[in-house]
Amino acid sequence: MGLSGLVNPYTITALDGVAYGLLLFTIAAGLTLIVGVAGVFSMAHGTLYLAGAYLAWHLADGGWTGLALALAAAAAVGALGGAGLAAVVRPLTDRPLDQVLATLGIAYIAADQFSTVFGAEPRSVNPPRAAAGSVRLGDYQYPIYRLLFIAIGLAVVVLLFWLVERSRAGAVVRAVVADPGMAAATGLRTSAVRAAVLVGGGVLAVTAGVLGAPVIGPAPGVDTTILVYSLIVCVVGGLGSIRSALLAALGVGQALTLGVAVVPGAAAFILAAAMLAALTVRHRTALPGRPA
């Protein structure tokens, strides 16, 4: 069977799901570490993505220079946003409901400001001209930028896996996830680790907004959508685990693309069932007498 036989509308849609899943992973990986390490229930994570998408719309000029400028601005805005969130939630340690309310208020204020500055209509962001065309896959044309984004997403996966699972900084993060009290007793500055994770998660989310803007462009409500899907990834994959976040994000990406194509209207039920199953399994393994 040649390439033409393997490529059909469903495989094209599944490829879209991979791109979507890697985008969700880039966003949700930061959130799962923020919740798992810092213990911060940030409802402003989707706002950071939307900030990056608007940066891409404002700064990207169809060339690589504009994209590089937008990415540099994303790193700065993400770091400032993460540091700002760390400062806001620092007095709210061990008060998760207050953290939710505080970050939700920030998200609402930011959404209102975005609409005031950029308008209420959706904005389209074009990829760099060199990646704006399409390539032939069998009998179908597929956007070059989505293939490029898949490659970038895989590079982000490798980088995050190395950073979290192989580097010294990752060992510190894992120690704080596993036992914050013991980590503090060994001399680790857990508050500094939590702040660093908030900054890193902010940079990831805003950078994802710049890179993902040609896929999910800036518009009112996009921040809420991104936040909901990121929370689903966190629930299904668990907190603090990059490996589980990747598998969950790819699964959510397929549910929102291939699932919609195969069983229209059932994506919400698929995601709800996945969350219920994940929570049930996690609860059963946490029962007394069972391995956690």
Which position has the token pair 């959510």? 252
Structure confidence at residue 114 (pLDDT) = 93
Q: Which of 100-114, 192-206, 270-284 comes out lowest in average pLDDT?
A: 270-284
Across the chain, what does the average pLDDT equal? 84
Asked whether the beta carbons of 244 and 7 are under 8 A apart, the reply is no
Element (H, E) at 28: helix 9-33
Q: Bridge-partner residues for 283, per DSSP? A: none
How many CA within 13 A on the CB side of residue 130?
6
Q: Which of 90-99, 100-109, 119-128, 168-177 comes out lowest in average pLDDT?
A: 168-177
pLDDT range class, residue 133, cuts 50, 70, 90: confident
Asked whether the beta carbons of 275 and 236 are under 8 A apart, the reply is yes
Q: How far apart are CA 144 and CA 148, in angstroms?
A: 6
Q: How far apart are CA 232 and CA 194, in angstroms?
A: 22
Mean pLDDT of 96-108: 90
28-79 pLDDT per residue, tens: 988 888 887 777 888 999 999 999 999 999 998 888 898 999 999 999 999 9
pTM: 0.86
Structure confidence at residue 35 (pLDDT) = 83
Q: How far apart are CA 253 and CA 26, in angstroms?
A: 12
Structure confidence at residue 170 (pLDDT) = 77
Which position has the token pair 């970038």? 152
Q: Could you count the other beta carbons within 10 Å of the beta carbon of residue 81?
A: 25
Asked whether the beta carbons of 210 and 95 are under 8 A apart, the reply is no
Residue 176 pLDDT greater than 80, yes or no: no
